[in-house]
Protein backbone atom coordinates (compact mmCIF):
# COMPACT_ATOMS: atom_id res chain seq x y z
CA UNK A 1 0.00 0.00 0.00
CA UNK A 2 1.39 3.41 -1.05
CA UNK A 3 -0.15 5.29 1.91
CA UNK A 4 -0.10 3.67 5.35
CA UNK A 5 -3.43 2.90 7.12
CA UNK A 6 -2.50 5.36 9.89
CA UNK A 7 -1.94 8.17 7.36
CA UNK A 8 -5.31 7.35 5.76
CA UNK A 9 -6.89 7.49 9.22
CA UNK A 10 -5.49 10.99 9.83
CA UNK A 11 -6.56 12.14 6.34
CA UNK A 12 -10.03 10.73 6.99
CA UNK A 13 -10.41 12.67 10.24
CA UNK A 14 -9.31 15.92 8.58
CA UNK A 15 -11.51 15.48 5.50
CA UNK A 16 -14.63 14.42 7.41
CA UNK A 17 -14.13 17.28 9.86
CA UNK A 18 -13.70 19.74 6.98
CA UNK A 19 -16.94 18.44 5.45
CA UNK A 20 -18.79 19.34 8.64
CA UNK A 21 -19.00 15.99 10.44
CA UNK A 22 -18.54 16.41 14.23
CA UNK A 23 -14.94 15.61 15.10
CA UNK A 24 -15.95 12.81 17.48
CA UNK A 25 -17.85 11.03 14.71
CA UNK A 26 -14.98 11.65 12.28
CA UNK A 27 -12.53 9.97 14.67
CA UNK A 28 -14.80 6.95 15.16
CA UNK A 29 -15.38 6.43 11.42
CA UNK A 30 -11.71 6.91 10.48
CA UNK A 31 -10.46 4.67 13.30
CA UNK A 32 -12.84 1.87 12.28
CA UNK A 33 -11.58 2.27 8.70
CA UNK A 34 -8.02 1.90 10.06
CA UNK A 35 -8.94 -1.32 11.89
CA UNK A 36 -10.51 -2.64 8.68
CA UNK A 37 -7.37 -1.89 6.63
CA UNK A 38 -5.14 -3.52 9.26
CA UNK A 39 -7.33 -6.63 9.39
CA UNK A 40 -8.04 -6.15 13.11
CA UNK A 41 -11.24 -7.04 14.95
CA UNK A 42 -13.77 -4.23 14.34
CA UNK A 43 -15.41 -5.05 17.67
CA UNK A 44 -12.34 -3.52 19.31
CA UNK A 45 -13.80 -0.08 18.49
CA UNK A 46 -16.92 -0.73 20.58
CA UNK A 47 -14.84 -2.31 23.34
CA UNK A 48 -12.51 0.71 23.60
CA UNK A 49 -15.40 3.19 23.60
CA UNK A 50 -17.47 1.33 26.19
CA UNK A 51 -14.52 0.65 28.48
CA UNK A 52 -13.41 4.28 28.25
CA UNK A 53 -16.84 5.79 28.91
CA UNK A 54 -18.31 3.40 31.47
CA UNK A 55 -15.24 2.44 33.48
CA UNK A 56 -14.17 6.00 34.19
CA UNK A 57 -15.60 7.42 37.43
CA UNK A 58 -13.78 10.67 36.64
CA UNK A 59 -15.97 11.35 33.58
CA UNK A 60 -19.09 11.66 35.75
CA UNK A 61 -17.80 15.04 36.91
CA UNK A 62 -18.27 16.56 33.45
CA UNK A 63 -22.10 16.36 33.11
CA UNK A 64 -22.49 17.38 36.75
CA UNK A 65 -20.36 20.53 36.38
CA UNK A 66 -22.23 21.39 33.16
CA UNK A 67 -25.57 21.01 34.97
CA UNK A 68 -24.35 23.12 37.91
CA UNK A 69 -23.30 25.94 35.57
CA UNK A 70 -26.60 25.87 33.65
CA UNK A 71 -28.61 25.92 36.88
CA UNK A 72 -26.69 28.98 38.08
CA UNK A 73 -27.34 30.76 34.81
CA UNK A 74 -31.13 30.39 35.00
CA UNK A 75 -31.35 31.25 38.69
CA UNK A 76 -30.62 34.70 40.09
CA UNK A 77 -27.17 33.67 41.35
CA UNK A 78 -25.40 35.51 38.54
CA UNK A 79 -27.28 38.79 39.17
CA UNK A 80 -26.47 38.71 42.88
CA UNK A 81 -22.80 37.92 42.23
CA UNK A 82 -22.47 40.84 39.81
CA UNK A 83 -24.03 43.21 42.34
CA UNK A 84 -21.56 41.98 44.97
CA UNK A 85 -18.61 42.45 42.57
CA UNK A 86 -19.83 45.97 41.85
CA UNK A 87 -19.42 46.70 45.57
CA UNK A 88 -15.85 45.35 45.50
CA UNK A 89 -14.36 46.97 42.40
CA UNK A 90 -17.03 49.07 40.70
CA UNK A 91 -15.81 52.38 42.14
CA UNK A 92 -12.51 52.35 40.16
CA UNK A 93 -12.11 53.75 36.63
CA UNK A 94 -13.23 51.13 34.17
CA UNK A 95 -15.07 49.60 37.11
CA UNK A 96 -17.50 47.48 35.11
CA UNK A 97 -14.55 45.93 33.29
CA UNK A 98 -13.11 44.99 36.70
CA UNK A 99 -16.52 43.66 37.75
CA UNK A 100 -16.50 41.52 34.61
CA UNK A 101 -13.14 39.95 35.50
CA UNK A 102 -13.80 39.49 39.24
CA UNK A 103 -17.24 37.97 38.67
CA UNK A 104 -15.70 35.47 36.26
CA UNK A 105 -13.06 34.58 38.86
CA UNK A 106 -15.78 33.91 41.45
CA UNK A 107 -18.07 32.15 38.97
CA UNK A 108 -15.06 30.02 37.92
CA UNK A 109 -15.28 28.31 41.32
CA UNK A 110 -18.68 26.95 40.30
CA UNK A 111 -18.90 26.17 36.60
CA UNK A 112 -15.58 24.92 35.19
CA UNK A 113 -16.63 25.97 31.69
CA UNK A 114 -15.53 29.04 29.71
CA UNK A 115 -18.61 28.96 27.47
CA UNK A 116 -20.92 28.72 30.51
CA UNK A 117 -19.22 31.76 32.06
CA UNK A 118 -19.37 33.78 28.83
CA UNK A 119 -23.04 33.03 28.24
CA UNK A 120 -24.14 33.23 31.87
CA UNK A 121 -22.36 36.29 33.23
CA UNK A 122 -21.57 37.72 29.80
CA UNK A 123 -25.13 38.44 28.73
CA UNK A 124 -25.80 40.48 31.89
CA UNK A 125 -22.47 42.29 32.26
CA UNK A 126 -22.35 43.29 28.59
CA UNK A 127 -25.80 44.86 29.02
CA UNK A 128 -24.53 46.77 32.06
CA UNK A 129 -21.36 47.92 30.29
CA UNK A 130 -23.07 49.11 27.09
CA UNK A 131 -26.03 50.83 28.77
CA UNK A 132 -26.08 54.52 27.82
CA UNK A 133 -23.00 53.88 25.62
CA UNK A 134 -20.65 53.81 28.61
CA UNK A 135 -18.38 51.22 26.91
CA UNK A 136 -18.13 50.22 23.24
CA UNK A 137 -19.98 46.96 22.59
CA UNK A 138 -16.88 45.37 21.01
CA UNK A 139 -14.76 46.16 24.08
CA UNK A 140 -17.41 44.75 26.41
CA UNK A 141 -17.48 41.58 24.30
CA UNK A 142 -13.66 41.34 24.20
CA UNK A 143 -13.12 41.64 27.95
CA UNK A 144 -16.01 39.23 28.58
CA UNK A 145 -14.45 36.63 26.27
CA UNK A 146 -11.03 37.16 27.86
CA UNK A 147 -12.33 36.91 31.43
CA UNK A 148 -14.26 33.73 30.57
CA UNK A 149 -11.05 31.76 29.97
CA UNK A 150 -10.35 32.03 33.71
CA UNK A 151 -13.30 29.70 34.36
CA UNK A 152 -11.63 26.41 33.39
CA UNK A 153 -8.34 27.37 35.09
CA UNK A 154 -9.51 28.26 38.60
CA UNK A 155 -11.01 25.04 40.02
CA UNK A 156 -13.24 23.24 39.25
CA UNK A 157 -12.31 22.69 35.60
CA UNK A 158 -13.83 20.44 32.95
CA UNK A 159 -10.66 20.51 30.75
CA UNK A 160 -8.59 19.43 33.77
CA UNK A 161 -10.96 16.50 34.32
CA UNK A 162 -10.35 15.49 30.69
CA UNK A 163 -6.58 15.89 31.11
CA UNK A 164 -6.70 13.76 34.28
CA UNK A 165 -8.47 11.08 32.24
CA UNK A 166 -5.75 10.91 29.55
CA UNK A 167 -2.75 11.36 31.88
CA UNK A 168 -3.84 9.46 35.01
CA UNK A 169 -3.01 12.53 37.13
CA UNK A 170 -4.76 13.53 40.38
CA UNK A 171 -7.72 15.81 39.66
CA UNK A 172 -7.49 17.35 43.11
CA UNK A 173 -3.87 18.45 42.65
CA UNK A 174 -4.61 19.68 39.11
CA UNK A 175 -7.41 21.83 40.52
CA UNK A 176 -5.06 23.25 43.16
CA UNK A 177 -2.40 23.88 40.51
CA UNK A 178 -4.81 25.98 38.46
CA UNK A 179 -5.69 28.38 41.26
CA UNK A 180 -2.60 30.63 41.21
CA UNK A 181 -2.41 30.88 37.37
CA UNK A 182 -6.13 31.73 37.30
CA UNK A 183 -5.64 34.55 39.82
CA UNK A 184 -2.59 35.76 37.86
CA UNK A 185 -4.71 35.96 34.71
CA UNK A 186 -7.42 37.88 36.56
CA UNK A 187 -4.91 40.42 37.91
CA UNK A 188 -3.27 40.76 34.46
CA UNK A 189 -6.64 41.45 32.81
CA UNK A 190 -7.58 44.02 35.46
CA UNK A 191 -4.24 45.81 34.97
CA UNK A 192 -4.84 45.96 31.21
CA UNK A 193 -8.43 47.11 31.73
CA UNK A 194 -7.18 49.92 34.00
CA UNK A 195 -4.65 51.06 31.37
CA UNK A 196 -7.26 51.06 28.59
CA UNK A 197 -9.91 52.70 30.80
CA UNK A 198 -7.58 55.60 31.70
CA UNK A 199 -6.43 56.01 28.10
CA UNK A 200 -10.01 56.09 26.76
CA UNK A 201 -11.49 57.84 29.82
CA UNK A 202 -14.10 55.16 30.54
CA UNK A 203 -16.55 56.13 33.31
CA UNK A 204 -16.26 55.60 37.06
CA UNK A 205 -19.35 53.93 38.54
CA UNK A 206 -21.13 55.69 41.43
CA UNK A 207 -19.92 54.35 44.78
CA UNK A 208 -22.49 52.13 46.51
CA UNK A 209 -23.40 53.53 49.96
CA UNK A 210 -21.78 51.65 52.85
CA UNK A 211 -25.16 50.97 54.43
CA UNK A 212 -26.10 48.93 51.32
CA UNK A 213 -23.01 46.69 51.48
CA UNK A 214 -24.25 44.26 54.20
CA UNK A 215 -27.58 43.77 52.41
CA UNK A 216 -25.92 43.12 49.02
CA UNK A 217 -23.40 40.75 50.61
CA UNK A 218 -26.15 38.86 52.42
CA UNK A 219 -28.15 38.48 49.20
CA UNK A 220 -25.06 37.09 47.43
CA UNK A 221 -23.95 34.92 50.37
CA UNK A 222 -25.62 31.63 49.27
CA UNK A 223 -24.06 31.99 45.81
CA UNK A 224 -20.64 32.82 47.30
CA UNK A 225 -20.79 29.74 49.51
CA UNK A 226 -20.87 27.31 46.57
CA UNK A 227 -17.13 27.48 45.69
CA UNK A 228 -16.29 27.44 49.41
CA UNK A 229 -18.31 24.27 50.03
CA UNK A 230 -17.00 22.65 46.86
CA UNK A 231 -13.30 23.35 47.40
CA UNK A 232 -13.21 22.71 51.15
CA UNK A 233 -15.17 19.52 50.61
CA UNK A 234 -12.68 18.24 48.02
CA UNK A 235 -9.46 19.34 49.71
CA UNK A 236 -10.74 18.55 53.18
CA UNK A 237 -11.05 14.92 52.12
CA UNK A 238 -14.83 14.86 52.56
CA UNK A 239 -15.58 14.11 48.90
CA UNK A 240 -13.88 13.25 45.64
CA UNK A 241 -13.91 15.79 42.77
CA UNK A 242 -16.71 13.78 41.12
CA UNK A 243 -18.75 13.81 44.32
CA UNK A 244 -17.93 17.52 44.57
CA UNK A 245 -19.43 18.03 41.11
CA UNK A 246 -22.62 16.28 42.28
CA UNK A 247 -22.66 18.48 45.39
CA UNK A 248 -22.21 21.61 43.22
CA UNK A 249 -25.12 20.60 40.97
CA UNK A 250 -27.36 19.86 43.98
CA UNK A 251 -26.42 23.11 45.74
CA UNK A 252 -27.03 25.16 42.56
CA UNK A 253 -30.45 23.49 42.24
CA UNK A 254 -31.23 24.10 45.92
CA UNK A 255 -30.10 27.75 45.82
CA UNK A 256 -31.97 28.52 42.58
CA UNK A 257 -35.24 26.81 43.50
CA UNK A 258 -35.52 26.97 47.31
CA UNK A 259 -33.37 29.88 48.52
CA UNK A 260 -33.93 32.31 45.63
CA UNK A 261 -37.11 30.77 44.13
CA UNK A 262 -36.04 31.97 40.71
CA UNK A 263 -36.62 28.84 38.60
CA UNK A 264 -39.86 27.48 37.14
CA UNK A 265 -40.49 23.81 36.31
CA UNK A 266 -40.34 24.73 32.61
CA UNK A 267 -36.93 26.38 33.02
CA UNK A 268 -35.67 23.39 35.00
CA UNK A 269 -36.76 20.98 32.26
CA UNK A 270 -35.11 23.08 29.53
CA UNK A 271 -31.90 23.36 31.58
CA UNK A 272 -31.65 19.60 32.09
CA UNK A 273 -32.30 19.13 28.36
CA UNK A 274 -29.59 21.66 27.43
CA UNK A 275 -27.10 20.08 29.83
CA UNK A 276 -27.88 16.63 28.42
CA UNK A 277 -27.20 17.80 24.87
CA UNK A 278 -23.88 19.39 25.89
CA UNK A 279 -22.90 16.22 27.76
CA UNK A 280 -23.79 14.01 24.78
CA UNK A 281 -21.67 16.22 22.51
CA UNK A 282 -18.63 15.94 24.81
CA UNK A 283 -19.32 12.23 25.29
CA UNK A 284 -19.15 11.57 21.53
CA UNK A 285 -15.88 13.49 21.35
CA UNK A 286 -14.40 11.43 24.19
CA UNK A 287 -15.70 8.21 22.60
CA UNK A 288 -13.98 9.13 19.34
CA UNK A 289 -10.77 9.94 21.18
CA UNK A 290 -10.85 6.59 22.98
CA UNK A 291 -10.76 4.55 19.77
CA UNK A 292 -8.33 6.95 18.05
CA UNK A 293 -5.95 6.79 21.02
CA UNK A 294 -6.07 2.99 20.65
CA UNK A 295 -4.99 3.44 17.02
CA UNK A 296 -2.17 5.77 18.13
CA UNK A 297 -1.07 3.15 20.67
CA UNK A 298 -1.01 0.40 18.02
CA UNK A 299 1.16 2.63 15.82
CA UNK A 300 3.45 3.28 18.83
CA UNK A 301 3.39 7.02 18.10
CA UNK A 302 4.20 8.24 21.67
CA UNK A 303 7.29 5.99 21.90
CA UNK A 304 8.43 7.02 18.41
CA UNK A 305 8.06 10.68 19.34
CA UNK A 306 9.98 10.14 22.58
CA UNK A 307 12.84 8.45 20.69
CA UNK A 308 12.87 11.27 18.13
CA UNK A 309 13.16 13.93 20.82
CA UNK A 310 15.78 11.97 22.77
CA UNK A 311 17.75 11.60 19.53
CA UNK A 312 17.87 15.39 19.27
CA UNK A 313 18.92 15.64 22.93
CA UNK A 314 15.92 17.86 23.66
CA UNK A 315 15.90 19.32 27.18
CA UNK A 316 12.79 19.84 29.29
CA UNK A 317 12.65 23.65 28.72
CA UNK A 318 13.03 23.24 24.94
CA UNK A 319 10.32 20.55 24.97
CA UNK A 320 7.96 22.84 26.92
CA UNK A 321 8.65 25.67 24.47
CA UNK A 322 7.98 23.40 21.47
CA UNK A 323 4.75 22.03 22.99
CA UNK A 324 3.47 25.51 23.87
CA UNK A 325 4.16 26.89 20.38
CA UNK A 326 2.48 23.87 18.78
CA UNK A 327 -0.56 24.09 21.07
CA UNK A 328 -0.92 27.84 20.47
CA UNK A 329 -0.95 27.20 16.72
CA UNK A 330 -3.38 24.28 17.05
CA UNK A 331 -5.56 26.39 19.34
CA UNK A 332 -6.17 28.72 16.39
CA UNK A 333 -7.56 25.80 14.38
CA UNK A 334 -8.97 23.12 16.70
CA UNK A 335 -11.42 22.95 19.59
CA UNK A 336 -9.76 22.59 23.02
CA UNK A 337 -11.21 19.21 24.01
CA UNK A 338 -10.05 17.78 20.69
CA UNK A 339 -6.48 18.91 21.43
CA UNK A 340 -6.65 17.46 24.94
CA UNK A 341 -7.89 14.09 23.74
CA UNK A 342 -5.86 13.63 20.55
CA UNK A 343 -2.66 15.70 20.70
CA UNK A 344 -1.77 15.93 24.40
CA UNK A 345 -1.65 12.13 25.10
CA UNK A 346 1.14 11.87 22.50
CA UNK A 347 3.33 14.26 24.52
CA UNK A 348 2.74 12.77 27.98
CA UNK A 349 5.27 9.88 27.74
CA UNK A 350 7.97 12.32 26.56
CA UNK A 351 7.13 14.76 29.36
CA UNK A 352 7.51 11.91 31.87
CA UNK A 353 10.82 10.81 30.33
CA UNK A 354 12.18 14.38 30.59
CA UNK A 355 11.18 14.61 34.25
CA UNK A 356 8.46 17.23 33.73
CA UNK A 357 5.85 17.15 36.49
CA UNK A 358 2.50 16.08 35.00
CA UNK A 359 0.47 18.42 37.21
CA UNK A 360 2.60 21.37 36.06
CA UNK A 361 2.41 20.15 32.46
CA UNK A 362 -1.36 19.72 32.66
CA UNK A 363 -2.03 23.21 34.02
CA UNK A 364 0.24 24.79 31.39
CA UNK A 365 -1.56 22.80 28.66
CA UNK A 366 -5.01 23.86 29.92
CA UNK A 367 -4.01 27.55 30.12
CA UNK A 368 -2.59 27.28 26.61
CA UNK A 369 -5.77 25.69 25.27
CA UNK A 370 -7.93 28.34 26.96
CA UNK A 371 -5.92 31.04 25.18
CA UNK A 372 -6.84 29.19 21.97
CA UNK A 373 -10.49 30.05 22.67
CA UNK A 374 -9.53 33.71 22.09
CA UNK A 375 -7.32 33.35 19.02
CA UNK A 376 -8.73 33.59 15.48
CA UNK A 377 -9.73 32.05 13.19
CA UNK A 378 -11.32 29.31 15.34
CA UNK A 379 -11.51 31.07 18.74
CA UNK A 380 -14.82 29.68 19.98
CA UNK A 381 -15.39 32.40 22.58
CA UNK A 382 -14.97 35.04 19.89
CA UNK A 383 -17.74 33.44 17.84
CA UNK A 384 -20.01 33.12 20.89
CA UNK A 385 -19.56 36.80 21.83
CA UNK A 386 -19.81 38.01 18.22
CA UNK A 387 -23.10 36.16 17.88
CA UNK A 388 -24.34 37.45 21.23
CA UNK A 389 -23.47 41.11 20.57
CA UNK A 390 -23.95 41.16 16.74
CA UNK A 391 -20.52 42.79 16.42
CA UNK A 392 -18.06 42.06 13.57
CA UNK A 393 -15.58 39.40 14.61
CA UNK A 394 -12.59 41.49 13.46
CA UNK A 395 -13.58 44.35 15.78
CA UNK A 396 -13.80 42.03 18.80
CA UNK A 397 -10.43 40.48 17.91
CA UNK A 398 -8.81 43.94 17.83
CA UNK A 399 -10.22 44.80 21.24
CA UNK A 400 -9.20 41.39 22.65
CA UNK A 401 -5.59 41.64 21.40
CA UNK A 402 -4.19 43.38 24.57
CA UNK A 403 -5.81 40.73 26.78
CA UNK A 404 -4.42 37.94 24.60
CA UNK A 405 -0.94 39.46 25.04
CA UNK A 406 -1.39 39.55 28.84
CA UNK A 407 -2.51 35.92 28.87
CA UNK A 408 0.57 34.93 26.84
CA UNK A 409 2.80 36.68 29.41
CA UNK A 410 1.13 34.67 32.20
CA UNK A 411 1.59 31.48 30.13
CA UNK A 412 5.33 32.17 29.79
CA UNK A 413 5.64 32.73 33.56
CA UNK A 414 3.89 29.52 34.60
CA UNK A 415 5.65 27.46 31.90
CA UNK A 416 9.11 28.60 32.98
CA UNK A 417 8.49 28.74 36.75
CA UNK A 418 6.93 25.41 37.85
CA UNK A 419 6.56 26.65 41.45
CA UNK A 420 3.95 29.14 40.25
CA UNK A 421 1.75 26.10 39.59
CA UNK A 422 3.04 23.56 42.14
CA UNK A 423 3.33 25.78 45.23
CA UNK A 424 -0.29 25.31 46.32
CA UNK A 425 -0.52 21.54 45.57
CA UNK A 426 2.68 21.00 47.59
CA UNK A 427 1.14 22.97 50.45
CA UNK A 428 -1.63 20.35 50.49
CA UNK A 429 0.76 17.40 50.45
CA UNK A 430 1.64 16.90 46.77
CA UNK A 431 5.01 15.14 46.49
CA UNK A 432 5.70 15.85 42.80
pLDDT digits (tens, 9 = 90+) for 97-156: 888 888 878 776 555 567 666 766 777 778 778 877 778 999 989 998 898 888 888 887
8 belongs to a structural domain: no
Domain membership flag for residue 389: yes
Q: How many domains, the chain?
A: 1
- Mean local confidence (pLDDT), 2-22: 82
Q: Does pLDDT of 88 surpass 80?
A: no
- pLDDT for residue 52: 67
Q: Which residue has the higher pLDDT, 341 or 237?
A: 341
Report if residue 2 sits inside a domain.
Answer: no
Within-domain flag for 29: no
Give the CA distances from residue 23 to residues 20, 160, 330, 366, in Å, rounded to whole numbers and listed in that order: 8, 20, 15, 20
In a domain, 380, yes or no: yes
pLDDT in tens, 200-243: 888 777 777 777 778 888 887 877 777 777 777 776 777 877 78
- Whether residue 422 lies inside any domain: the answer is yes
pLDDT of residue 259: 78
Q: How confident is the model at residue 292 (pLDDT cuts 50, 70, 90)?
A: confident
Return the percentage of the chain with pLDDT > 70, whole number: 90
Contacts of 28 (CB under 8 A, 6+ apart): 45, 49, 287, 288, 291
Q: Specify if 243 maps to a domain.
A: yes
User: Is position 6 within any domain?
Assistant: no
Residue 126 structural domain: 41-427
Amino acid sequence: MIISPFALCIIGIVLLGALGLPIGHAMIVSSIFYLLLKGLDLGTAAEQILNGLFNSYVLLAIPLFILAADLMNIGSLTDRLLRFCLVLVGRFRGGLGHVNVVSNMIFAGMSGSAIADAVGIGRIIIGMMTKENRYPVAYAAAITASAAIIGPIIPPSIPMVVYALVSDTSIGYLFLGGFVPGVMLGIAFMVMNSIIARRRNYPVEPAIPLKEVPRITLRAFPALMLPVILLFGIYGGVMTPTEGAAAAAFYALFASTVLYRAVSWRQLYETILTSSKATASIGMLIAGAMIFNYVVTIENVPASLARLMQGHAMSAPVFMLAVNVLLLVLGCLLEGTTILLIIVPIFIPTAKALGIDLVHFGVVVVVNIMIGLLTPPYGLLLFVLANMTKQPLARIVREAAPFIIMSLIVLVIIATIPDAVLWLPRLFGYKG
